[in-house]
């Protein structure tokens, strides 16, 4: 049977674009359909604009510190409009880069919504239909609001980049990556931030000591964080929204921001109708090669509900091409993925938390917390944390957790050692880089506890 294409990719985000490009470079005839902007969540409404907002939000502290260092600094305040104009120009530029990468590698693009008609046929919203030997679903996910009265008035992370003005006050619901990052960003930009998290401590799943320090630092920075509390209902009122909470309070906030998780984009794609299995959260069920229950259909990235991180989607895309177009079956390696949360201070983490490790085997915990030189000199009380979890049995470093400015940069490098299986003694043999914060990671001599 002859097909119009060897590969049809649905979704032009990080994973889809990478898979399309690399398959085309291998000589495959590739098409890609995207209904929105190229670049997907990461480039258009996630990692990239978020990180630029993190940078913007750090200047007030930097300016204050600069004064302590002898600079005569004067600011006329922050202009959301100026920042937004530059941000949008940058996103336009990046979208252009993505489009050029696709056309440059010979991928045919369709600016249309695609749905599946059968195991080898894609229908586009333009009315066109194409057949393909393989179909790759890389449609990503979207933020969800909880089901409660008035929730439709709240914003989600997609909306935050398009606000005409910054609110004076905001209530953020949730305690995950997005809630905590935006609490810090908006606080830094001068918004009065309140955060409600239903659990006992924010950033569930991360190392307890690390999340405890971040929560403390966020509170010290002025974020009004309420644990064990969440919203019951909200309704429009003068100056914003009246919010009833589980802690018995009723308060008015100019905006309410739901950072209550994301859901895979699998609705109305025709997946189940043709036999693709979906999980309870709406995610596409795939095997270790990203293959679905329909052999010609594969799925990668957030839509599979595995690990919702851009670099993981890209690796899944690369492994898919290796498997399907290079005849080299390659399972995706989801072990020991380093990651960073861009709170202020950041968390950089790789491997097991102390809680996970001690439940599994006897461990030694090496941990230090201190005031970093740069901020301490400026009179700040902020602390950083460096922590290693070490297996007693084979001395391997099972987990590394860093809470510090720049922790995301540090953990990328520590992640190599941990992924290589480095032992505590390998860390010890490595000479310190002085004076840095991260030198503490190779100078911790005595465990603070064993378990």
Q: What is the DSSP letter of 155?
A: B
Closer residue to ligand NDP (CB): 308 or 444: 308
Instruction: Identify the residue among 261, 270, 275, 447 touching ligand NDP (CB under 6 A).
Output: 261
Nearest-CB residue for ligand NDP: 176
Determine, following the binding rule CB under 6 A, whether residue 415 of this chain makes contact with ligand NDP. no
Determine, following the binding rule CB under 6 A, whether residue 42 of this chain makes contact with ligand NDP. no
Give burial (CB, 10 Å; 0-12/13-18/19+) of 435: exposed
Helices (H), 105-137: none
R_g of the chain computed on alpha carbons:
24
Distance CA 176, CA 160 (A): 16
Which tokens in the block code for residue 232?
Answer: 């019951």
Determine, following the binding rule CB under 6 A, whether residue 178 of this chain makes contact with ligand NDP. yes
Instruction: Identify the residue among 260, 265, 266, 290 touching ligand NDP (CB under 6 A).
Output: 260
Determine, following the binding rule CB under 6 A, whether residue 173 of this chain makes contact with ligand NDP. yes
Which tokens in the block code for residue 409?
Answer: 């940069």
Determine, following the binding rule CB under 6 A, whether residue 142 of this chain makes contact with ligand NDP. no
Question: Which DSSP helix (H) or strand (E) runs through 185?
Answer: helix 177-188
Determine, following the binding rule CB under 6 A, whether residue 12 of this chain makes contact with ligand NDP. no
Determine, following the binding rule CB under 6 A, whether residue 175 of this chain makes contact with ligand NDP. yes
- How many residues bind to ligand NDP according to rule CB under 6 A? 24
Determine, following the binding rule CB under 6 A, whether residue 177 of this chain makes contact with ligand NDP. yes
Determine, following the binding rule CB under 6 A, whether residue 179 of this chain makes contact with ligand NDP. yes
Determine, following the binding rule CB under 6 A, whether residue 188 of this chain makes contact with ligand NDP. no
Handedness of CA 422, 47, 43, 303 (dihedral sign): positive
Counted residue by residue, the chain has a size of 451
The span of 31-39, 85-93, 123-131, 334-342 binding ligand NDP (CB under 6 A) equals: 334-342
Query: Residue 157 Cβ, how far from ligand NDP at the closest point, in Å?
Result: 7
Distance CA 173, CA 54 (A): 19
Task: Write the CA distances from 408 to 1, 77, 115, 345, 438, integer angstroms.
Answer: 49, 28, 38, 10, 12
Closer residue to ligand NDP (CB): 339 or 375: 339
Determine, following the binding rule CB under 6 A, whether residue 375 of this chain makes contact with ligand NDP. no
Determine, following the binding rule CB under 6 A, whether residue 204 of this chain makes contact with ligand NDP. yes
Closer residue to ligand NDP (CB): 309 or 441: 309
Determine, following the binding rule CB under 6 A, whether residue 223 of this chain makes contact with ligand NDP. no
Q: What is the DSSP letter of 386?
A: E
Instruction: Identify the residue among 174, 305, 372, 399 touching ligand NDP (CB under 6 A).
Output: 174
Distance CA 212, CA 209 (A): 5
Which residue is associated with the tokens 């329909």?
294
Catalytic, 334? Answer no
The residues, any chain, with a CB within 8 Å of residue 249's CB and separated by 6 or more, are none
| Of 263, 285, 325, 316, nearest in space to 15 by CA | 316
| Cis check: omega of the bond before 394, within 30 degrees of 0 | no
Contact present, 17 and 38 (Cβ < 8 Å): yes
The residues, any chain, with a CB within 8 Å of residue 75's CB and separated by 6 or more, are 59, 60, 63
Query: Residue 362 Cβ, how far from ligand NDP at the closest point, in Å?
Result: 29
Which of 142, 153, 401, 434 is an active site residue?
434
Determine, following the binding rule CB under 6 A, whether residue 5 of this chain makes contact with ligand NDP. no
Closer residue to ligand NDP (CB): 134 or 262: 262
Determine, following the binding rule CB under 6 A, whether residue 259 of this chain makes contact with ligand NDP. yes
Determine, following the binding rule CB under 6 A, whether residue 308 of this chain makes contact with ligand NDP. yes
Closer residue to ligand NDP (CB): 169 or 343: 343
The residues, any chain, with a CB within 8 Å of residue 46's CB and separated by 6 or more, are 40, 157, 310
The catalytic site residues sit at 434
User: Which parts of this chain interact with ligand NDP (CB under 6 A)?
Assistant: 146, 173-179, 181, 197-199, 204, 230, 259-262, 308-309, 339-342
């Amino acid at each position: 049977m002859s097909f119009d294409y060897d590969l049809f990719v649905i979704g032009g985000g990080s994973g889809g674009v990478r898979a399309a490009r690399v398959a085309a470079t291998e000589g495959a005839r590739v098409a890609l359909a995207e209904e929105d902007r190229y670049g997907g969540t990461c480039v258009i409404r996630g990692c990239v604009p978020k990180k630029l907002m993190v940078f913007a939000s750090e200047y007030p502290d930097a300016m204050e510190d600069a004064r302590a260092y002898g600079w005569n600094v004067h600011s006329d305040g922050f202009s959301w409009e100026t920042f937004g104009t530059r941000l949008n120009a940058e996103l336009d530029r990046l979208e252009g880069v993505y489009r050029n990468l696709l056309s440059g590698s010979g991928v045919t693009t369709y600016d249309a919504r695609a749905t599946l008609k059968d195991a080898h046929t894609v229908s586009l919203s333009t009315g066109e239909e194409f057949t393909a030997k393989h179909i790759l679903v890389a449609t990503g996910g979207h933020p969800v609001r909880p089901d409660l009265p008035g929730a439709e008035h709240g914003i989600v992370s997609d909306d935050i980049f398009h606000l005409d003005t910054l609110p004076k006050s905001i209530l953020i619901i949730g305690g995950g990556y997005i809630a905590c990052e935006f609490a810090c960003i908006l606080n830094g930009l001068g918004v009065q931030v309140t955060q409600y998290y239903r659990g006992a401590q924010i950033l569930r799943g991360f190392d307890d000591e690390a999340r405890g320090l971040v929560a403390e630092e966020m509170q010290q920075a002025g974020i009004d964080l309420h644990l064990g509390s969440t919203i019951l209902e909200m309704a429009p009122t003068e100056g914003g929204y009246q919010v009833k909470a589980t802690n018995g309070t009723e308060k008015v906030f100019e905006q309410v921001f739901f950072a209550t998780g994301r859901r895979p984009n699998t609705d109305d794609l025709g997946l189940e109708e043709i036999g693709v299995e979906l999980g309870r959260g709406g995610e596409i069920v795939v095997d270790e090669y990203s293959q679905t229950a329909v052999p010609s259909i594969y799925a990668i990235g957030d839509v599979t509900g595995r690990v919702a991180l851009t670099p993981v989607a890209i690796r899944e895309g690369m492994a898919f091409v290796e498997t399907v177009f290079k005849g080299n079956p390659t399972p995706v390696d989801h072990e020991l993925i380093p990651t960073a949360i861009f709170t202020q201070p950041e968390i950089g983490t790789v491997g097991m938390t102390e809680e996970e490790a001690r439940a599994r085997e006897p461990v030694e915990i090496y941990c230090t917390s201190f005031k970093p030189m740069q901020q301490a000199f400026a009179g700040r009380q902020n602390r950083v944390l460096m922590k290693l979890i070490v297996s007693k049995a084979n001395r391997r470093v099972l987990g590394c957790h860093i809470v510090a400015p720049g922790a995301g940069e540090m953990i990328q490098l520590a992640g190599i050692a941990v992924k290589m299986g480095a032992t505590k003694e390998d860390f010890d043999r490595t000479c310190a880089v002085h004076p840095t914060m991260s030198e503490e990671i190779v100078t911790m001599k005595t465990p603070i506890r064993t378990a």
